Structure 1
Amino acid sequence: MNLRLWLTGLRPKTLPASIAPVLVGAALAVRRIEQLGTCIEIYPVPAACLERRALQADLTNRFWPVAVLCVIVALFLQIAVNYANDYSDGIRGTDEGRDTDEASAIANKPQRLVASGVPAKYVLAAAVIAAAIACAAGVAAILIAQGWWLFAVGAASLIAGWFYTGGKHPYGYAGFGEVGVFLFFGLAAVLGTEYALTGSVDALGVCGAVCCGLNAAMLLMVNNLRDIAEDQQHGKYTLAVRLGERRAVMLFIACLVAAWLLGLYVCVTLWMPWGGILPFAGIVVSVRLLLSIYRHQFRAALGAAGCQTLLFAIAVGVAAVL
């Protein structure tokens, strides 16, 4: 077994899309926990103020254990989805032509495990192990946070991860992959993290979740634009295949603009007015992303899309702290 090949199967450029929404949710949670302790200084201290400060102390004490567990859940869930995708596409023949370094370099696409001759059952086992780690960390986080409805979110995430390319009727083959990514690596990840850390969600969290969802969807759109010819040949009707390359690129640009505007709003709201400067620190990455798409340099575009996702999370974190 080639260790380098297994590391390639992790699809490292997609991993920021799993970590970033947890960082955003945690950053927004920090802001809300700090605000709980804000009370008018009068004597005697009002009972409502004492309750809020007691809640603040409780949330602060469990913040780091829950936050770390949320990162583990998101990271290993992404790894599980990546291996499951490799398994499902491999047995369907969708990854044909990605069996060697030379073939992958010619096709300008990464090598895949099953297509390279790794037994499919081993790739499936790797996906199951990663999913089990995500489940264990998720259960621990829920028990600490006592957010029982998060069990349903976790179960839905696992089911969505498998049926993206697995099963008889995978939704990734019907053009709904971007929708699934938006929901689970955007809304569910950010709002689930915020809820686990604070016990509730707010409107700013929704804005951050939508922004993360758009960034994650764009990462998948780059991947699908790269594979548009092969996907169509193998009956994989992704959104890019259904729209055609030109309209898919137009949709990509619309998502990029929307994500930028939302990111700007979140950062300015967190740190008025200086937070508006933070998103512009990553404008070079966005320009590089667009240029790479137009030049069909999809490996560079994937790296830029992953970097942009992480930069947004860092910008939100800095704005929340400052």
Structure 2
Amino acid sequence: MAAGRPADIRLWLAGTRPRTLPASIAPVAVGAACAWNHIHTLDLCILIYPEPDECVANRALLHTLLGRFWPVVILCAVVALCLQVAVNFANDYSDGIRGVDDGRDVDETSVSSQTERRHQPAKPQRLVASGVPAKRVLLAAGIAAAIACVAGLAAIVISHAWWLLAVGVLSLLAGWFYTGGRHPYGYAGFGELGVFLFFGLAAVLGTEYALAGTIDLLGVAGAVCCGLNAMLLLMVNNLRDLDDDARHGKRTMAVRLGERRARIALTVCMVAELLLSLALVALLWWPWGVILVISGIAVPLRMLRSVERHDYRWALGDAGYQTLFFAALVVVCVAAGGTLPV
């Protein structure tokens, strides 16, 4: 798109980077499922007679938590989605003004044949690189971040989880300094650590605490799996951009390790996520949860095969699917497997 030409809706939608959005919604679903499981352990002593004072207090807390459950879930989902969009626009702005996205003003569908993709991996357009004024992209990032802040404050007021304010501030700072500022940590190879912390631990455990007023081992295990899935998505993305990043001095983990070792690291993370998710669903809903995991194992295997072939469009799609699959798996296992004592 020529400089100064108004961006169309398709370009702005592409600028939200839709393939990354599952990494924002999935942790909220997992955190909500873990919170739901914990909340329903509060009525396990209902058959005890005479009813202890602790059970009376638990039943009152149960009604309070259930009464605000769905409004807080929706608010957490808005926070996660808008924060991810804000980060994507901010990254577009930062990479665009640095020239990292030079040449990404052509739709990825223009690289049509499979042979072309193997030698020139298809890459989605970027807003600044396509001629959209950088200040307009930065403004869009600010608007998305503001919506996330409003929704986050509402969730905190409803749940009284005031310490989550600090988590929210750290998440905003992490989103900006991933590629923004004078020394972006995404350019130094720490992007994977960032997404593990904020799209895994912070997102899942923050959601669980906002909904249940506590966190537990089930939530921690789910948070680690979500963090690993977010890492897989970023690792595939960085493998796709390896040559361009190296040329522009962006020292991602893929650049630091090299393609072969980066693919090994991707495989290790995938295996770790599969093993932990197997243990988690086995605990929640034996043996059907395990059967569901095994039934979907073809997707991560296909992702590795696509990376080996440099078919990153399919690999990114599979990485996003795997993120959503795990979230759906946890929700189904919590719903079908009954309440797990914590």
Residues of 2 paired with 1:277 and 1:102: CA distance? 37
For 2:261 and 2:232, the matched residues in 1 are separated by 14
Q: Which residue number corresponds to residue 235 of structure 1?
A: 249
Worse-matched range after superposition: 87-96 or 272-281: 272-281
Superposed, 1:215-230 pairs within 5 Å as 215-230=229-244
- Matched residue, 1:73: 79
Identify the match of residue 264 of structure 2 among 250, 253, 275. 250
SS in 1 for 2:162: coil
Contact 2:303/2:319, CA 8 A, preserved across alignment: yes
TM-score for both structures, normalised by structure 1: 0.98
Letter in 2 for 1:78: Q
In the alignment, the residues of structure 2 paired with residue 206 and residue 79 of structure 1 have an alpha-carbon distance, to the nearest angstrom, of 25
Q: Which amino acid in structure 1 is aligned with residue 47 of structure 2?
A: E
Which of 207, 211, 217 matches 1:203? Answer: 217
Q: Aligned residue for 1:64?
A: 70
Matches within 5 A, 1:47-196: 47-101=53-107, 105=111, 107-196=121-210
Describe the superposition over 1:191-213 as per-residue Cα deviations: whole angstroms up to 9, x where unpaired. 00000001110111111100000
Partners of 2:76 and 2:108 lie apart in 1 by: 38
Q: By how many angstroms is 1:276 displaced?
A: 1.4
Moved more, 94-103 or 107-116: 94-103
Deviating beyond 6 angstroms after TM superposition, the runs of 4 or more aligned structure 1 residues are none
- Quick one: which amino acid aligns to residue 318 of structure 1? V
Summarize deviations over 1:109-161 as a string: whole Å, max 9, x none: 11110000000000000000000000000000000000000000000000000
Q: Does the CA-based 8 Å contact 2:156-2:164 persist in structure 1?
A: yes
Which residues of 2 match residues 231-310 of structure 1 at below 5 A? 231-310=245-324
Residue identity in the other structure for 1:296: H
Letter in 2 for 1:316: V
Q: CA deviation at 1:103?
A: 9.3
Give 1:282 deviation, angstroms. 1.6
Partners of 2:246 and 2:287 in 1: CA distance: 47
In the TM superposition, what whole-angstrom CA distance separates every residue of 1:221-269 from its partner, at most 9, and x where no partner exists? 0010001111000000000000001000000000000000111111111
- After superposition, give the CA deviation of every residue in 1:180-200 in whole Å (9 maximum; x if it has no partner): 000000000000000000111
- The 1:45–1:16 alpha-carbon spacing in structure 2 relative to 1, beyond 3 Å, is same
Q: Which residue does the alignment assign to 1:33? A: 39
Q: Does 1:9 align with 2:12?
A: no
CA shift for structure 1 position 283: 1.3
C-alpha separation in 2, matches of 1:200 and 1:259: 24
Distance 1:160-1:208 versus aligned 2 partners, 3 A rule: same
Q: 1:24: which partner in 2?
A: 30
Cα RMSD (Å): 1.2
Task: Supply the AA of the counterpart residue of 1:10.
Answer: T
> Residues 54-87 of structure 1, C-alpha deviation per residue, up to 9 Å, x if partnerless?
1111100000000110000000000000000000
The percent of aligned pairs where both chains have the same amino acid is 66
**Partners of 1:97 and 1:104 within 8 A in 2:** no
The amino acid that maps onto 1:125 is: L
User: In the TM superposition, what is the alpha-carbon distance from 1:46 to its structure 2 partner?
Assistant: 1.2
Q: Give the superposition deviation at 1:274.
A: 2.3
8 Å CA contact 2:108, 2:123 repeated in 1: no
Q: What TM-score, normalized by structure 2, do the two folds share?
A: 0.92
Corresponding letter in the other structure for 2:328: I
More helix by share: 1
Quote the Cα distance in structure 2 between the aligned partners of 1:303 and 1:99. 21
Deviation at 1:101, TM superposition (A): 2.5
CA distance in 2, matches of 1:253, 1:7: 31
- Aligned residue type for 1:155: V
Amino acid aligned to 1:310: L
In the alignment, residue 73 of structure 1 is paired with which amino acid?
A: V
Cα deviation, residue 42, structure 1? 3.5
Between 1:263-272 and 1:146-155, the stretch displaced more is 263-272
* Number of aligned residues: 322
Contact 1:98–1:104 (8 Å) recurs in 2? no
Shifted more, 98-107 versus 127-136: the winner is 98-107
**Which amino acid letter does the alignment assign opposite residue 67 of structure 1?**
V
